[in-house]
Structure formats: structure tokens, C-alpha cells
Chain A
Amino acid sequence: TQLLEQSPQFLSIQEGENLTVYCNSSSVFSSLQWYRQEPGEGPVLLVTVVTGGEVKKLKRLTFQFGDARKDSSLHITAAQPGDTGLYLCNAGGTSYGKLTFGQGTILTVHP
């Protein structure tokens, strides 16, 4: 069974601070996605990474896929209250099938 572990599980910070969320596994993945979910809504895709060592930037968000494709990080610079939400990492295996999810990181950014 492929398991993804996210850390931290909860994160409460002040507006303007930087933060990093981690997603780790003992398994190798063909791809890894980061999603953000708000209450009452489904997860919304932020980014997909497929190449080991890949770094993608989305405004103030920086995503990195580990060289061995077993881990990833999400870094947010100068967090804003609008960044508040549940951040989920999930990963595909060797096919275009099911995704394996981490338990998520609940981020709260206080004004």
C-alpha cells in the first residue's frame, strides 16, 4: 500500500510569514499533485509535477518534486488570509489510475 505522509497536519501563521508543507513517501511516484480544498468544495488542482527535481512556481507558491520522486514540498511566501485552506498532496502510481492522498495540511493565515 502506497502511503503519503504530510507534515505538518496543522499550521497557523500570521499574514506575511513564509511556510513550507511537506509530502513524503517510501514509494516512487510517476507524478504528484498538490490540491487546495476549501470547506464545502472539492479539491482544486494547483500543480502537477512529473520529473524528479522539478520546481514549479505559481505566484507566491513554489512546488518541488524530490530527485527520487518520493517526496515533494510546497512553499508559500508572504502568506495571505486567502491562502487559508486544506492542502492535499496526492500521487499516481505507474498508470493513469487511482491517486493516493496524504491526510492534508490545514493552513490558517491570520490577518
Chain B
Amino acid sequence: EAGVTQFPSHSVIEKGQTVTLRCDPISGHDNLYWYRRVMGKEIKFLLHFVKESKQDESGMPNNRFLAERTGGTYSTLKVQPAELEDSGVYFCASSQYRSFEQFFGPGTRLTVL
């Protein structure tokens, strides 16, 4: 069974540009989560989808971040315009309905110059 996949693995952009990250969860997992780790800090929650609905977006830093999960399958996280402090590793995770166990993807390393 394929795990959680993320694309791209690395992205280097300039301040002010737009970047879109993609996450493909494990097939059949209704829950999809986005997390982020910035340099030297712990992994922090961004938001949680249940199927195509946003269940909790309390961790989204500001309105420059937009997450979507059309059709309840894959998800995208767009940052527009990117700022220097957005640099970090963005992780996606998925889980089955009503399960405590989240399975993480390899992450996307975003560098904003």
C-alpha cells in the first residue's frame, strides 16, 4: 500500500512569489493534516481536513496560506505571496476516520530567499 506522498520534495523561491505544495494521502483516509516545522522549532499543526471539509484551520499563520482538498482526495497548500519566515519543512499526514494514528509524508522543504 502506498504511503502519503508529497510534491515537490524541495522548492526554492524568491520572496513575493507563489508556491503550491501537494499532498496525496493514503487511499481511503478521510483525515488529512498539514503541519510545518520551521528551523529550530517543533512541528506545528496548520490545518485538518475531513474529506473535503476544513475541520480545524486554527494553525494557519495568516491569509497568505490557502489549503484546498477538492473531492476529498489530494490536497494543495498555496502560499501567496511567500515571505522569508515561511521557509521550513511542510508535512502532510493522513489517518482513517476516528483513528488516533496519523501517517506522515516525507515533507516538502520550502526555502524562501
Contact = CB atoms under 8 A, between A and B. Distances in A.
Contacts of A42: 4, 6, 91, 93, 104-107
Interface string A44-73: 110010100000000000000000000000
Interface residues of B, number: 29
Interface string B50-63: 00000110110000
B91 A43 contact: yes
Contacts of A80: none
B71 to A, nearest CB: 21
B42 A103 contact: yes
Contacts of A102: 42
Interface string B17-39: 00000000000000101010000
B33 A40 contact: no
A38 to B, nearest CB: 10
Nearest to A3: B42
Interface in B82-113: 91, 93, 95, 97-107
B7 interface: no
A98 B97 CA distance: 13
A102 B31 CA distance: 22
A35 B100 contact: no
Contacts of B31: 96
A85 interface: no
A33 B43 CA distance: 14
Contacts of A35: 104
A108 B31 CA distance: 34
A9 to B, nearest CB: 11
B106 A96 contact: no
Instruction: Please give me the 6 A-B residue pairs with the lowest Cβ-Cβ distance, nearest first.
Output: A42-B104, A98-B45, A31-B100, A101-B43, A103-B42, A42-B106
